[in-house]
Amino acid sequence: MVATKEGHLGASLGVVELTIALHYVFNTPDDKLVWDVGHQAYGHKILTGRKANFHTNRLQGGISGFPKMSESRYDAFGTGHSSTSISAVLGMALASQLKGDTKKQHIAVIGDASIASGMAFEALNHAGVTNTNLLVILNDNAIGIDPSVGALKQYLLKVTLDKSPNTDNIFEALNFKYSGPIDGHNLNELISELNRLKEIEGPKLLHIITKKGKGLRQAEENQVLYHAPGKFDAATGEILPKKKENLAPKFQDVFGKTLVELASENKNIIGITPAMPTGSSLKYMMEAFPDRAFDVGIAEQHAITFSAGMATQGFTVFCNIYSTFLQRAYDQLIHDVCLQNIPVIFCLDRAGMVGEDGATHHGIFDISFLRCIPNLILFAPRNEVELRNILYTAQLGLKHPIAIRYPRGCGTIIDWQQPFSKIEIGKGVQLLRGKSMAILTIGTMVTNAITAINECDFSKKVSLYDMRFIKPLDEELLHSIFNKYDTIITLEDGIISGGFGSTILEFSAKNNFKNTIKCLGISDKFPNQGSIEELQDLAGISSEKIKNIINSYL
C-alpha cells in the first residue's frame, strides 16, 4: 500500500516484531499503548481492525497516517509531534491508580531521537517518583527522520557496545528499572522480556535495538530517503521516478541553496534547525559550512533560545523550523527573542496546508499566533525570487526579529536564481489593476488568485495586491485601496480567526472605513489529510472557489 499510495515506510518496517509482541503480550486496548510521533504505527493499525481500509491511509476521507483517538479505541492517544508519549501514558497510569485499577498496564514506545527532547525528560523525571504500571520502550535505531544527534545518542551507543554491567545508567538514576539492550527483531526474546516486565511494579524502561527499514534492503541502506520515500516498486524496492510536471524548485531547496550562497559572502551567517536538516534543506549549509550549521535534535524550545543567544554575540542566525513545530516553542519566541528584540531570522517551512500528513502538521496557525507579538516582522513570499530576496534583505541587518513563512512543495519560477534585490520592509505591491474590486493576498495564495482572475477574464475588473508583510502593514497602500474600492477580498492559507483577514478588518475599523470586506481562509476547525488541492478547495481558497466568490460580488 505504501508503495502505491505513499506514506511513512522505514519507521513502521523497523517495529514489525515489536508491534506483534506488544499486542500479543498486553491486553490492548484495555492496556494503554501509545506510539510516540506515530510514524511507526502502520503495523499497529493493520493489527487493530484497519487492514481492510488501510488503502485509504493519508487520503482525504480515509484513515490518518498517525494514531488518532477518534479513529480507533486501540489508539490510546493522538501523536503527530514527538516526545509526548511518556507524559500522556504517565497521566493514564496515575489516573488508573486514582480509580483503584492496579492491574492495567501503560506502555509508551519512544525512539532514541524523541527521548532526547526536553519534554520526554520532564516526563521521565516525574514518572521516576511514582509507583505506576508504566513501561517505556526505548526503540533505539540511531535515527529519527535524519540521524540522531547529541550526547544522549553517544551514551546509548556506549550502553549498546558495553557488554559489562553498566553501573552508571542514566535511566536507573531516574528510578526506572532498566533492562536491555535486547534485539528488537527477535520476537521470542521480546515476548519473553515483555512478559517478565509486566509482572514488575513501578516505572520500567526496556531498551531495544532495531534497524529502521528492516526487511527492505534499500530502506535499511538509505534510511533518510526511505523514511517517506514516495511511490516505489513493491517487488524491487526501487523508488519510481516522479513526473516532472513542475520544473520549479521546492521552496525548501530555494531556502537551503540561497543560504549557502549568502553564507559564502557573509561569514557571520549561522543556520540552526531542530532535527529537520533534510526536510528543511539546511543540509546544504551543513555540508558546505559544517561549523556554522547546527542540528540541535528534537528540541524546538532549545533551538529558539540557542538562536537568540548566538544572535546576541553578533551572528546573523537563520533558524529554520516547520510552522507546526514552532508552536512548541511559543514561550521562547516571545520571551527569549521578541521581548528582547533580538534579530533572529525564522524561516518557517511547511506554512499553510501540507497535504497528506494532516491535522498535526498543517502550518495554518502561524499568522494568528505571530502577528500579535510585538517587535516581530512577518513576511510571506509569493514565489521563489521573493524568498531569495527576503533572505538577502534579512542578512543585511534588521533591527527586529523576522518570521518568513513559505509552503511545502514547489513554486512557479524555473529561473529562480536571479540577482538579489533588497525588499523594503513593510511595503506591498500591486500586481493587477482593475476597476471594480480589490483582492489582497499574502504568500503563494497570489497564484490561486491570478488563476481565478485569468480564467474568467476579470483582469479589467479586479485589482490584485500582494501585501507581502502581514506585519508591519503597508498602511499607505491600504488607505489608497480602501478609498478606491467598495469591495475588498482578503485571501490567506491560514486560519481566518486572528489571521491576515483579521488584520485588514482591524485596519478598516481603526480608520472608520465602511467597505465590504470578505475574508477567505481556513475556517475554525482542524483540516484533516488530503492533497493540498483538495484541502484548499474544501476551505474555499482554491482558484475555482475564488472565481465563484468574485462572480458573486461582480
C-alpha radius of gyration, the chain, whole number: 25
How far are the Cα atoms of 106, 257, 428 from residue 77, in angstroms, in the given order?
A: 12, 39, 44
481 is written with which cell numbers? 485601496
Exposure of 167 by Cβ count < 10 A (0-12 exposed, 13-18 middle, 19+ buried)? exposed
| Exposure letters 43-61 (e unless 16+ CB within 10 A, then b) | bbbbbbebeeebebbbbbe
Give CA 108 to chain center in angstroms.
22
In angstroms, rounded to a whole number, what is the distance separating the alpha carbons of residues 219 and 225?
8
Enter the C-alpha cell of residue 330.
511559543
Residue 143 CA to its chain's centroid (Å): 17
User: Which of the following is catalytic: 58, 104, 212, 468?
Assistant: 212
Instruction: Return phi, psi of residue 468, to 5°.
Output: 65, -55
- The answer to whether residue 300 is catalytic is yes
Question: Half-sphere exposure of residue 205, counting CA atoms within 13 Å on the CB side?
Answer: 25
Active-site residue, 153 included: no
Q: Of these residues, 32, 257, 328, 350, which one is catalytic?
A: 328
CB 265 within 8 A of CB 312: no
What are the residues whose beta carbons fall under 8 Å from the beta carbon of 537, sequence distance 6 or more?
Answer: 544, 545
Which residues are registered as beta bridge partners of 107? 33, 135
291 CA to centre of own chain: 25
Instruction: State which H helix or E strand residue 156 sits in.
Output: helix 151-161
Mark whether 73 is an active-site residue: no
The single residue of 17, 300, 384, 534 carrying the catalytic annotation is: 300
Smallest Cα–Cα separation from 152: which of 21, 335, 299? 299
Element holding 306 (H helix, E strand): helix 300-311
Q: Just list the catalytic residues.
A: 212, 300, 328
